Every structure is written in structure tokens, then in C-alpha cells.
Structure 1
Amino acid sequence: MKINDAIPQKGSRKRGRRVGRGIAAGQGASCGFGMRGQKSRSGTGTKPGFEGGQMPLYRRVPKLKHFTVINPKVYTVINVKRLADLPAGTEVNLESLMDCGIVTSNDGPLKMLGDGELSVALTVKAAAFTASARQKIEAAGGSCEVVTA
């Protein structure tokens, strides 16, 4: 077989559209581009993303840093140093903290942060713990339990 023997399959190639060859051809005069307007002129037309002079989308969206989080997770945060005054063996959750006045408002599920020191053993039930908060609570002899909000 030679290179000139390699021809396409019968029916696989379709002939090109002959435009501007009269009204009988079906694509005469304006060649299917209509009468007037920007898209009927010769040349490439408009660049991708062009919106007719309106400020295009790629210029309207923010570019720097990051997009704001649409549904952010909001927690009621508290440091372990605020738990130091509680008696040993106390079960700590959001409701018990509100009852004793350590937390004044329910801003969402409870999250424990690790600032400060803790010397009493407590059972803490919260939605989230930082690594340092978990380590300090367990070092004091307490336990950490993650509860779903």
C-alpha cells in the first residue's frame, strides 16, 4: 500500500458550503450572515467574552486573594482558661456554660480553643476542638467528645 492509496471512506467527507453563488444556491448575497450588523461584517467579529460594551464578566468578578465563603461555619468559641474555675468532674457543653454565665450568647455550636492553662479534669462536649485545646484538656485528666450540632 502506498500513501496515495490511502483515501477516506466513501461518504465520510462532506463537501464545503458554497456561499455567495446566487439565490438558487440557498446561501447567496449575504451568505447566511443576515443583512447588516457587527456579525455580518468580514473579519473575526468580536473577541471571546465581549458583551457588547457592557463590563464583561471576567472584569466584574473579584480577582485578588479569595472569594468570600458563601455559607461559613460560625461557632461559639471559648478558650480552655475560661474552664479553669469549674469544679472537677463537671460535664461541659454549651448549655452548661450558658447556665453558669461563662458564655452569654449562643452564636452556634461550641468550639474549644487552646489559649491558657487547665488543671481540673473535665468532660468537654463540643462540636470542634483545636489540637492544643484537646491536648490541654486530656493532659489535665479530662476527656473530649465531639458532638454534632
Structure 2
Amino acid sequence: MTLFPLFLATCAVPAAAGILFKPGQWYRDLDKPTWTPPNLLFPVIWAMLYTLMSLAAARVATMVGNDLALALWGLQITINTLWSAVFFGQHRMLGGAIIIGLLWAAVLATTVAFALLDVLAAVMMVPYLAWGTFALALNISVWRRNRGRAAT
């Protein structure tokens, strides 16, 4: 687990994007579904997800044959970094949904690759996959409700 801090530090990049591109008034004014979580819940969820995905990557990092799994982990964290800038920064709701769709696919591929090496690491990725499913549905719902409000 000595690599855990390195993977967690890598998660600081998308976390920083989330700090730089805050929801703000534009997001508060959007029509959102009733099942939208309160804004205060998002940092708590992301802290848990970043911790779990970093623990999972640290487990896999010590294993033989981990090249593809770690490359996929790097891909998903890169895609993750883009969403806040596109959705909150550029107000591109459809663009955000496309990014989350790509992120979901990358997280699924990472989870499968992790499962081939370490079942526990894969299990640690499942909450991230579940959150990605929820986030995609939420993003699409917000886009559909607000198509005329900003760039899609």
C-alpha cells in the first residue's frame, strides 16, 4: 500500500478541477430533478470514491501484468478531470453527459481489468461505477430540462 498516497495525489487533479469550476449561480438556477442530491453531499461522495479508487489502484500496482489495468485507471482519472470544466465552466450540459458516458465506460473497463488481477480491487471500484451511472442519469436529466438555457 505504499503507492496509495501517489494514486490519491493523482486524484487531487480532478478534485482541483471541481474546486476551480464550482456550480455557482448558473447551476443553482437550472431546473433539476427532485432526486438531485444536495450540493454538500458531492464532496463527501467524491472523497470516498477517490479513496476507494486509489486503494484499488495501489493493490493492482504491485501485481504482475497490471499494465492495461493501470493504463485504464489513468484514462478514467483523465476523463474525470474534464467534466467540471465542461459542465460548470463552459455550461455545456450535453458535453458533460458525453464525458460522463466516456468516463463510465472507462471505469467499467478499469473495474473489469482490476477483477482479472484482484477481486477486492474490482469491488472497490463498484461504488464509483454506481455513482457514474447515477451522475450520467442526472446530467442527462438536467440537460433535457434546460436545453434552451445555455450551450448544450
Q: TM-score range by the shorter chain?
A: under 0.3
Determine which structure has more spread, i.e. the larger CA radius of gyration.
1
Taking structure 2 as the reference length, what is the TM-score of the superposition?
A: 0.23
Q: Which has the higher contact order (CA 8 A, sep 6+)?
A: 2
Higher helix residue share:
2
